[in-house]
Amino acid sequence: MQDATPPPPADTPADPPPPAPSSDEQARAYESVHHRLLVARLLILMVVLALYSFSGASVDLATGLASYFGERWWWTNAAYLLISFLGYSALLFPLNWYSEHYIEHRYGLSRQDFNGWVKDHFKGLAIEAPLIVFFFSIIYALLHASPQSWWMWTALFYVFFVVLLSTVWPVWIMPLFHTFERLEPSPLTEAVEQFARRSGIEVLGVYKWGLEAKTSTANAALTGIGKTRRIILADTMLNHYSPAEIIAVLAHEVAHFKHGDLWRLMLMGSASAVAGFYVAHRLLHAWVGRLPGVDGVADIGGFPLFVFALFLFTLLVMPLSNAYSRRREYAADAYAVRATGSATDLTSALNKLAAQNLANKEPAPWIEFLLHSHPSIARRTAAAQRVAGTQQPTGH
Ligand SMILES: [Zn+2]
């Protein structure tokens, strides 16, 4: 399911041209733009946190709100979080426009116009704002109730929150950005459903995922839990991939499900959440006294410090969780090769996906190690061919 992340909301003129074969050079240029943007985002976050904290603005806001709300500290916290989130989003607006709209157009990935992008952007903020406010309000309530063991309760809450979000996201949130239409029965849906059945997976229908109106990138996924489980196939894939290639991509998704990868990744996420909140706990207690005007760890005025601690931890853990995720991707590819009997369909689908999504097929190994949750297409293709080779000796 980690493959189900919708591509960044893209934008632009109607009349979609067919996906043009992209050059490797273009993919490398696109990749390096995104790396520079990532570095910019990290630097901006650090600078903003430092300024917010050391200028006294954070404490001033918290104190002002506290004098307005008085005893009702949870209102103070919620208002502080909402104002801070909206302020940060406003600050990032130009950068988001540049990375999600301008760059996507320049590389011919987006088909959304500016108005469409703005609409999606604000829709996204309207969904994120209450989630962020709720998430950190609960954490600060736990900090307030139990300054010494809050990190354990918070890790528990975090796991619950993530499971809930990943359940409702494809069903409630994704349809707000893209259309989902149940596909009429056809030889393709028949083959897809038959494949799922043979793999022992019960699905409630095959859906067309309407990406084409907004982007030229493609994706497919097996989403939802229990009664909401469905197969979604991007229209950008339906139009340009052979049924055998679609089945191979689906087999990869089915493998994630059969291997319990969602639960494995959640378990791993939970373990790192416990560690991360504990680190934040130690840092908060060690540093909070040095921040003038912050009255203890549960004072929302110290929020920038809290975010900094979490951010630092996440940055350190990311290569680890990425390495684990890449291993699960190789395992899913191997399953797909065995299930479809050869590496041919999977590798041709992977190459099409890379071309369509402008993925660099051979990123620098250290970049892949640090940043990528998926192995590069070149390595995945090679690994798939090795699996096929051990399965049936290649005879030409
Ligand atoms: Zn995958």
222 SS3 class = strand
**Alpha-carbon dihedral sign for residues 180, 184, 185, 190:** negative
| Ligand 1 centroid from CA 374, angstroms | 7
d(CA 183, CA 239): 13
| Ligand 1 centroid from CA 347, angstroms | 14
Query: Pick from 275, 14, 363, 307: which is nearest to 139 by CA?
Result: 307
d(CA 288, CA 298): 10
pTM of the model: 0.80
Please answer whether residues 326 and 372 qualify as being in contact, where contact means their C-beta atoms are separated by less than 8 angstroms: yes
* Choice among 5-14, 105-114, 232-241 with the minimum mean pLDDT: 5-14
| Ligand 1 centroid from CA 108, angstroms | 25
pLDDT-derived band at 21 (thresholds 50, 70, 90) equals very low
In Å, what is the CA distance from 94 to each residue of 38, 88, 110? 14, 11, 17
* pLDDT higher than threshold 60 for residue 1: no
| Ligand 1 centroid from CA 2, angstroms | 7
| Ligand 1 centroid from CA 246, angstroms | 14
pLDDT-derived band at 91 (thresholds 50, 70, 90) equals very high
Express each pLDDT in 47-61 by its tens digit. 999 999 999 999 999
* pLDDT higher than threshold 70 for residue 2: no
| Ligand 1 centroid from CA 396, angstroms | 30
**Alpha-carbon dihedral sign for residues 184, 188, 190, 192:** negative
| Ligand 1 centroid from CA 9, angstroms | 20
* Choice among 86-90, 167-171, 225-229 with the minimum mean pLDDT: 225-229
Q: Provide the pLDDT for residue 122.
A: 92
In Å, what is the CA distance from 86 to each residue of 82, 164, 332? 6, 24, 39
d(CA 223, CA 227): 11
In Å, what is the CA distance from 179 to each residue of 112, 206, 236, 250? 14, 13, 13, 20
* Alpha helices (runs of H) in 199-260, residue ranges in sequence order: 235-238, 243-258
Express each pLDDT in 311-347 by its tens digit. 988 888 889 989 999 999 999 999 999 999 999 999 9
| Ligand 1 centroid from CA 121, angstroms | 27
| Ligand 1 centroid from CA 66, angstroms | 47
DSSP H or E segment with residue 330: helix 303-340
Any idea where the domains of the chain sit in the sequence?
A: 21-172+249-391
| Ligand 1 centroid from CA 305, angstroms | 35
| Ligand 1 centroid from CA 52, angstroms | 39
**Alpha-carbon dihedral sign for residues 241, 387, 337, 8:** negative
Please answer whether residues 7 and 357 qualify as being in contact, where contact means their C-beta atoms are separated by less than 8 angstroms: yes
